Structure 1
C-alpha cells in the first residue's frame, strides 16, 4: 500500500528541479571463496544511473572541475555464509581536494530512506560537503537491495501508478478489502521479482557491508555521516563494531527505542508540527497568505481539500488525477524542507482552483517517479528493509482500534499513517526485532544532531539515541529549526560544530544549542 515512508529523507534537490520545470514551463552471484577484504576496487567514470537508482543524468563535475568516480565492491549475499555467493555493492567517491598529507580517510555517507541511492544522492548535493572534502574522500553507496546493489523489485511502472493512486484511508468494508488486496498483491510481487534478496536486506547486513567497505578502502576506523535512517544504520554499526567507530555524525535522528507503531505515531506528530509551523509561517508574514487568513484557516482548508478529493479527484499530471492519497503524500513531501514551503503554498492555491499538478509532482518526488513515468526502487526498498527489520505485524482490526490515537495526533495525517502499518502484513520474511540495538560501549564519541522542527525524525529521538548509545558515546547537539535534518539547513553554528568534529576532532560540548 502507499506508505507514508518511515525515516525517508526527501530528495529535495530533485523535487525543486522538477517543480521549477513545471512552474517555468550492476550485479550477479559469484563464488565468494576469495578474501573479500583484500579486493581491489576499480574506480572509473560513473555510468548513467539505472532506473532503480532514479534514472537521472550522470553526476555534474565537482566544484573544482574534478569528476566523480564509481566502483563495485563484492559482499557476501548472506552474511551467515560469508564464503558463499556474493552480490555487488555500487560505490561513488570524490577524491579529497586537500593535500594528501592532511587526508584523514574516507567519509562514508548514508542519506536515509531506507531506500535512497547514495550513488545518485551524494552528487546531487553539489558543494554542500566541499569543506569536508578538504580532508576526506567523500564516499557513498547503494545499500544492498537499493539502486544498482542487487535491487529488490516489486511492481512495474504502470502498476505503481495505480498503487499510488489508491485510497489509503478506507471508509468502509469494501475499501478496506481493496486496500488489503492491493497490499497483498504488492508484497507478493516483491517476493516474486527480487530474486531471493528479501531475507538479506536487513540493516545489520548493510552495517556489515559498511565494515567491509571500511577495510577495502584501507581505513582503520569508520568515518561516517548518517542522515535520517542513516542514523539507525550508523547506530547498528556502532553496536556491532564499537571498536571500529572513528569520527561519526548522526543528523535527523531515528529514535532507536521505538517499534514500528511507535515510530510511525511519532512521525504523525512530527508532520503535524511541521504543518502547524508552515501554516503559522504563511499567515504571520506581512503580505496576505493566499491559502488562509489564519493558521487554523489554512489547516481547515487543507482538510476540506483532502475530504473533497476522497470522492472527487482533480486534474493532476496527465493522464493521472490528484487523489486524496497523492495530495497527502505531496503535502508530506513539501514539509520535509522549508525550501519547499513556497511550492506547497502555490500547489494548494492551484489545487483550490482545480489544478493538482504541483501537489502531484511533490507526491511523485516522494515516491521516486521521474518525469518520464519511470520509478526508482525507493518504495520497494523502503518497505522491504523496514519489513525485514521490524518484527511487529499488524491486523486491520488492530489499526482500527488505533485510529483515534493517530487522529488525535494529526487530523490530517493520522489515518494514512495508521493504515500504513499494514505494509508488512503477510510479508514473506519475518522481521528481525522490535527495534534496533544501538548500544555501543567503548565507541568513540558520536555527534548526534537533533532538529526541533523535524517532521520525519522528531527531535525527541536524538536524546533517546544518545541514551541508547551509552555513557560517553553520544554527544547531543540541538538545532532550533525547520525541516528534515540540520547540516544542510546551512546553519553556520551547526556546520561549524560538525566540521570541527569531523575535520579536527573537536567534540562540541554536550547540550550545545544552535538557532
Structure 2
C-alpha cells in the first residue's frame, strides 16, 4: 500500500487500499493467462527514447508513449510515461538493467535510480539503473481529482475519531464528493490507472531499452508492481527483490484492514518505550503508560481547541497523521518527540520553528498524491460497496486501534463509491519465476509482517529475510546484513539457502 519518499508522508505512505474479487475487462485474457493482450502496435514498439539530461542533472530522462488501454491499444489517446536511467559506471563490467519503482501508489519513481546508485556503488557499477513515473504520477500523464482545499478538508477538518451520526455522515459525504470530482476532472482516465496497466508500460520500457530481461528492486507498493510484473511477464525478469511487502497474493481490502493493528503495535511496542527511555530529554513520561497518557491529553486538547500556528489550524487528525508518519523509521522518533513538545507549548518556540511546523502540517496529503493513490487502490479491483458495513467495521477499528483505525472510514467510503473496476484478477503464485528475495521487518507499521509472511508462503521459491525492529524499507536503511544479502543476489545470484534473519540497523 506504500504507504507511502514521501509527499506528505503522514497519510500518504500509510495508506494503501482495500479490494475484493475482480471482473475481466472486455477482451482481456483470463486470469490464468496474465499479460495476454493484443499485439503492441508498431508506433509504440518502434519508438526511440529521446534521452536528455533530467532537470536535476543527475540522470537521463526520456518520454515514452503508451496505449491508454493495453487491452484496446487503438482506442483512446496515448499516454506519456516519463522514464529515467543512470548508466553503469563501468560499461565493461555491466551485467544488465536494474529497474526500480516507487511506493505509494502516488510517489515519483523518476529520481530513484540516482538514490540507489549513490547508496550502492557496487550496483551502480554493474547495472544501468532505470526508473519511471508510473502512469497517473508526476511527469507522466497525471490523473486529477479534487483541489488541495478539498483534500485538506477530507483528512484534517474534523476529528476522525468522532463517531457521532453527524460526523460519520460528513465523512461519507466528503468521500463521495471526492469521487465525484475524480469522475469529472480525470478526463476518462480512472479505469486505466491500475497496477495491471502499469506493468504493461514497464515491459514496453524493457523492450525499448533493448534487453531481453531486467532485474528489479521495489519497496512498499512497488512490491505489488514487481510481483504483478514478474507474474504477467515471467520471461522478462532475471532477479527480483521485494522490500517491505504488501500481500500481493491476496487483496488490498484485507491488507489494509490489518494496518490499524500494525500502526498501533509500532506505536505501543517501539515508540512509547523509546519516548519513556528518553524522558530526561523530552519530558513526555517516565513509562510507556505515562507517555501514552500524555499523548492522549495533547490530542484531547486539540479536539477541544485546534491550534492555529502561523495560519495553519492543527487538529487531532494532524497529530495522528504526523505520528503515523514518524513510525515508519526509528530515526524519525526524535523529531516526533520534539513536535509533541512544541504542540504542548507553541508559545515557547522561535518564529522559524513555528513557520516550519505550519508548513509541515499544511497538507496532510497532497492533492496530486491522493488522486493517483485512490485511483490505483480503488481501481485495481472492486471494494465492498456497503457503506453501512464500513461504518460498523471502522467503529471497531477506531476503538481497538485508534491511532490509524479512525481513518478507515474515509478510505473505505472513497473506494466503496468508486466506479466499478474492470481490472483483471492477477493470481501471484511464483510459478515459472526465478527465486524472489523478500525483505520485511517484524514491526513495520505499514507493510506489516503477517502480510509479508502470507505473500512469502504464496510465492513459490521465495526467500524471506526477516529484520528485527520495525523500520519500513530495509535496503538503503544502513543495515549491513540486509545490504549484503541484496547485493550478493543482484550481483552474483547468491541467495540464502532458506529464510533467514538480520538484526535491526544500528542507530
The bucket for the TM-score relative to the shorter chain is: 0.7 to 0.9
Post-superposition Cα deviations, 1:422-446, rounded to whole Å, max 9, x if no partner, equal 121221342647x852223111111
Q: Is structure 2 residue 291 aligned with structure 1 residue 298?
A: yes
The answer on whether the counterparts of 2:117 and 2:123 sit within 8 Å (CA) in structure 1 is: no
CA distance in 2, matches of 1:241, 1:380: 28
Between 1:395-404 and 1:296-305, the stretch displaced more is 395-404
The CA RMSD measured in Å over matched residues stands at: 2.5
Match of 2:207 in 1: 215
1:116 positional shift: 0.7
The residue correspondences of 1:299-314 to structure 2 (distance < 5 A) are: 299-314=292-307
> What SS does structure 1 have at the residue aligned with 2:465?
strand
Q: Is structure 2 residue 88 aligned with structure 1 residue 96?
A: yes
CA distance in 1, matches of 2:322, 2:355: 10
From 481, 485, 507, the counterpart of 1:493: 481
1:364 positional shift: 5.3
1:83 positional shift: 3.6
CA distance in 1, matches of 2:243, 2:169: 39
Q: Is structure 2 residue 472 aligned with structure 1 residue 484?
A: yes
The structure-2 alpha-carbon separation of the partners of 1:219 and 1:33, relative to structure 1 and needing over 3 Å to count, comes to closer
From 177, 182, 195, the counterpart of 1:190: 182
From 96, 102, 105, the counterpart of 1:114: 105
From 119, 129, 132, the counterpart of 1:141: 132
Match of 1:461 in 2: 451
Aligned length: 465
1:366 positional shift: 5.8
Match of 2:463 in 1: 475
Q: Is structure 2 residue 459 aligned with structure 1 residue 451?
A: no
The answer on whether the counterparts of 1:387 and 1:431 sit within 8 Å (CA) in structure 2 is: no
1:193 positional shift: 1.3
The answer on whether the counterparts of 1:198 and 1:429 sit within 8 Å (CA) in structure 2 is: no
Post-superposition Cα deviations, 1:391-435, rounded to whole Å, max 9, x if no partner, equal 1234442123224541454133222234432121221342647x8
1:303 positional shift: 2.1
TM-score by length of 1: 0.84
CA distance in 2, matches of 1:357, 1:481: 33
1:10 positional shift: 4.3
> What SS does structure 2 have at the residue aligned with 1:305?
helix
> What SS does structure 2 have at the residue aligned with 1:478?
strand
From 211, 214, 228, the counterpart of 1:236: 228
Match of 2:401 in 1: 410
Between 1:483-492 and 1:168-177, the stretch displaced more is 168-177
CA distance in 2, matches of 1:12, 1:503: 32
Match of 1:44 in 2: 52
The structure-2 alpha-carbon separation of the partners of 1:267 and 1:362, relative to structure 1 and needing over 3 Å to count, comes to farther
TM-score by length of 2: 0.85
CA distance in 2, matches of 1:161, 1:92: 32
The answer on whether the counterparts of 2:314 and 2:361 sit within 8 Å (CA) in structure 1 is: no
Match of 1:11 in 2: 6
> What SS does structure 1 have at the residue aligned with 2:476?
helix
1:41 positional shift: 0.7
1:68 positional shift: 1.1
CA distance in 1, matches of 2:373, 2:110: 16
Match of 1:327 in 2: 319
Match of 2:351 in 1: none
The answer on whether the counterparts of 1:333 and 1:366 sit within 8 Å (CA) in structure 2 is: no
Post-superposition Cα deviations, 1:315-359, rounded to whole Å, max 9, x if no partner, equal 23x322101222211111111111211110000111122478766
1:173 positional shift: 1.9
The residue correspondences of 1:429-440 to structure 2 (distance < 5 A) are: 429-430=420-421, 432=423, 437-440=427-430
The answer on whether the counterparts of 2:152 and 2:364 sit within 8 Å (CA) in structure 1 is: no
The structure-2 alpha-carbon separation of the partners of 1:33 and 1:249, relative to structure 1 and needing over 3 Å to count, comes to closer
From 359, 371, 378, the counterpart of 1:380: 371
Match of 1:367 in 2: 365
CA distance in 1, matches of 2:144, 2:221: 20
> What SS does structure 1 have at the residue aligned with 2:156?
coil
CA distance in 1, matches of 2:150, 2:227: 35
Post-superposition Cα deviations, 1:53-98, rounded to whole Å, max 9, x if no partner, equal xxxxxx3x5xxxxx31110111111111124442111011111112
The answer on whether the counterparts of 1:322 and 1:357 sit within 8 Å (CA) in structure 2 is: no
The residue correspondences of 1:81-92 to structure 2 (distance < 5 A) are: 81-84=72-75, 85-92=77-84
The answer on whether the counterparts of 2:152 and 2:365 sit within 8 Å (CA) in structure 1 is: no
Match of 1:344 in 2: 336
Q: Is structure 2 residue 259 aligned with structure 1 residue 259?
A: no
